[in-house]
Amino acid sequence: MTPGQLSEKIVVERSDWVLEMLERIRALPLGSLEEFTADPVTVDAAESCLRRALEALLDLGRHVLAKGFGDAPAEYRQVAERLGEHGVLDPEESEVFGRVARYRNRLVHFYDRVSESELYTICGERLPDVERVLGGLHRWIRAHPERIDRGL
């Protein structure tokens, strides 16, 4: 695959989606596990918004790799590794992104093993990890404006 330019539209849309999903999670009743699990719709909304936020973040990472470096990893867990190898993310961000990718896989493939308690903890304590990775991607993109296609 040949490197090209990142689509500004894709960067903005995926970034906005991540932030919107995190905002929706934070609007849920996260005061206590009991409050969080009182209505099954809350748990379902949290899982859906978290999964969609992680999917959008991983899609953005794949876009940066594909267009910025001509690198198209086949698996989500490789996205974090390759972004680190290419210097897009620092080592800590790459490690955090690896955990994010693994959790996305857990939500999708091992959904029956994700407990309400685990989901509550992730939504209450780990959302800054998602923001940290998004911030690392944005930092690299801002540092390389020549790699952005600003057309529609």
Query: The domain spanning residue 56 has which CATH number?
Result: 1.20.120.580
pLDDT digits (tens, 9 = 90+) for 124-134: 999 999 999 99
Q: What percentage of the chain carries pLDDT values higher than 90?
A: 80
Q: What domain range is 11 assigned to?
A: 6-144
Domain membership flag for residue 108 = yes
What confidence score (pLDDT) does residue 152 get?
61
Residues facing 7 on adjacent strands: 149
Domain membership flag for residue 74 = yes
pLDDT band at 110 (very low <50, low <70, confident <90, very high): confident
Domain membership flag for residue 151 = no
pLDDT digits (tens, 9 = 90+) for 34-46: 999 999 999 999 9
Q: Which uninterrupted H or E stretch holds 85?
A: helix 76-85
Domain membership flag for residue 125 = yes
CA atoms of 65 and 71, how far apart (whole Å):
5
Counting the structural domains of the chain, the total is 1
What does the block give as tokens for 1?
A: 């695959």
Pick the more confident residue, 17 or 99: 17
